[in-house]
């Protein structure tokens, strides 16, 4: 029973990180942080992108929570949930790296899913990349993917309203 609460904290942290990643992606990366994120939306042959700096921000969040939870750093007044929150952030970072960078953008391995949720993840993130520039867009999350048909309809609405420039190949 002593391990149940830490496991729940880790799981809740992973889920919370998807919401934090969604909000950060929509309002920071496609807002005032576009300078770091832009190259992720443009073709290039570089091994690394400025966008990878956001991974360092996530790592700093995780490390900070580990430090807050560590009695070696904080003394006897350490906040014990910090360690488990830091672990949840770390797990989310691993999931993000495998799903977004690995599966969707194929930076580490080549596999194109033919069906199931993995295919839906790839389709919805490809629709995210269907817009030109930082305005408009859909599918700002990284792990939870909405129905691609609904995302296409939203892209079509944004294009017709003049909110976003949508590439012709997006199907919107």
pLDDT tens digit at each of 172 positions of the chain? 699 999 999 999 999 999 999 999 999 999 999 999 999 998 888 889 999 999 999 999 999 999 999 888 777 778 999 999 999 999 999 999 999 999 999 888 889 999 999 999 999 999 999 998 899 999 999 899 999 999 999 999 999 998 888 886 555 5
Q: Using CA atoms, how far apart are residues 142 and 21, in angstroms rounded to an integer? A: 7
Q: Using CA atoms, how far apart are residues 167 and 172, in angstroms rounded to an integer? A: 9
The pLDDT value given to residue 167: 81
Locate the domains of the chain by residue range.
Answer: 1-111, 112-172
The pLDDT value given to residue 43: 86
The pLDDT value given to residue 169: 59
CB-CB contact of 80 with 67 (8 Å): no
């Amino acid at each position: 029973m002593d391990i149940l609460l830490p496991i729940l904290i880790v799981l809740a942290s992973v889920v919370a990180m998807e919401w934090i990643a969604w909000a950060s992606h929509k309002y920071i990366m496609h807002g005032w942080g576009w300078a770091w994120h832009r190259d992720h939306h443009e073709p290039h042959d570089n091994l690394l992108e400025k966008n990878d700096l956001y991974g360092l921000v996530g790592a700093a969040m995780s490390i900070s929570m580990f430090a807050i939870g560590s009695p070696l750093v904080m003394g006897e007044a350490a906040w014990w949930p910090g360690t488990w929150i830091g672990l949840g952030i770390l797990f989310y970072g691993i999931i993000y790296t495998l799903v977004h960078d690995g599966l969707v953008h194929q930076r580490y391995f080549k596999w194109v899913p033919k069906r199931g949720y993995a295919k839906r993840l790839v389709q919805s993130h490809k629709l995210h990349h269907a817009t030109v520039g930082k305005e408009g867009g859909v599918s700002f999350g990284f792990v939870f993917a909405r129905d691609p048909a609904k995302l296409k309809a939203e892209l079509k609405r944004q294009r017709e309203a003049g909110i976003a420039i949508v590439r012709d190949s997006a199907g919107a």
